[in-house]
Amino acid sequence: MTSAKLITAAMLAIGDELLSGRTKDRNIGHLADMLFLAGIDLKEVRIVGDDEEMIVDALNALRRRYDYVFTSGGIGPTHDDITADAVAAAFGVLCTHDPAAMELMAAMYARRGMEFNEARQRMARMPVGAKHIPNSVSTAPGFSIGNVHVMAGVPQVFVAMLESLLPTLKTGTPVLSRSIASPFGEGDIGTQLTAIQRAHPETSIGSYPRFDGTRFSTEIVIRSREEATASAAERDILAMIAEIAAAKAAT
């Protein structure tokens, strides 16, 4: 029986521009990579437009199901940046100008000789009781409330916020990943590989077809949180490949 510690997460990407195709999301892949390294399982990703009711519904469903929810987008200075309001509504609290965020941003704009106008002050709004996620790129902080972590949609800022946030989170047992090159296509190995997966339920075995212009082959990837289970599955896969090779050589 595995003793691995499991921590689960979901992502909610917010913005009409994502659904229209005007913006190509880069944050989902980066989050997935960073959570994998931290031992946090990203289980679900949703994309919703700039609609408060849809954001609230999605956020409430995700935060009740997973240990963490990460959002991106919708905390900028324009009228359609409504994520802070939606998150506040989901938690049943007010969304106000956070005094510490106002102070940080006022000082930043003063240094730049720019007006800290009403639109820019919108970026200091967050739910009452939220904690800052530092932003080393453009100062305006993201925020955390409950198990929800709200970050910017601009990839450079999202990366910076996530870098600040991750060390503060509880993490699980990291996943081990092993790759095996099979010279045979999925059609040759599919049945046996299914049996191997059933024999090793504490592993996740994926097969990824390759074609070099002449023949098909398969990359087989084993993922597990325990060395022993990964090694056992690897031995069975290597034995399967050798058995198929011997059978083909005999014909």
Pick the closest to residue 59 from 29, 82, 18, 91 (CA basis). 91
What does the radius of gyration of the chain's CA atoms come to, in whole angstroms?
A: 23
Per-residue model confidence (pLDDT) at position 5: 81
Paired with 208 in beta bridges are 219
Q: What is the pLDDT along the chain (251 residues), one digit of tens a residue?
A: 456 689 999 999 999 999 999 999 999 999 999 999 899 999 999 999 999 999 999 999 999 999 999 999 999 999 999 999 999 999 999 999 999 999 999 999 999 999 999 999 999 999 999 999 999 999 999 999 999 999 999 999 999 999 999 999 999 888 899 999 999 999 999 999 999 999 999 999 999 999 999 999 999 999 998 999 999 999 999 999 999 999 999 98
**Beta-sheet strands, E only, within 168-213:** 176-182, 204-211
Per-residue model confidence (pLDDT) at position 1: 45
Q: In Å, how far are 6, 84, 85 from 95, measured between CA atoms?
A: 33, 7, 6
Tokens 């006022």 appear where? 106
Q: Is the dihedral of CA 116, 120, 126, 128 positive or negative?
A: positive
Q: In Å, how far are 9, 66, 112, 123, 180 from 127, measured between CA atoms?
A: 21, 21, 27, 12, 48
Q: Which two tokens stand for residue 171?
A: 């993490």
Q: Which two tokens stand for residue 84?
A: 């802070």
Per-residue model confidence (pLDDT) at position 251: 83
Describe the strand order of the beta sheet including 204-211 as a list of residue ranges.
Answer: 176-182, 216-224, 204-211
Half-sphere exposure of 87 (CA within 13 A, CB side): 32
CA distance 138 to 121: 13
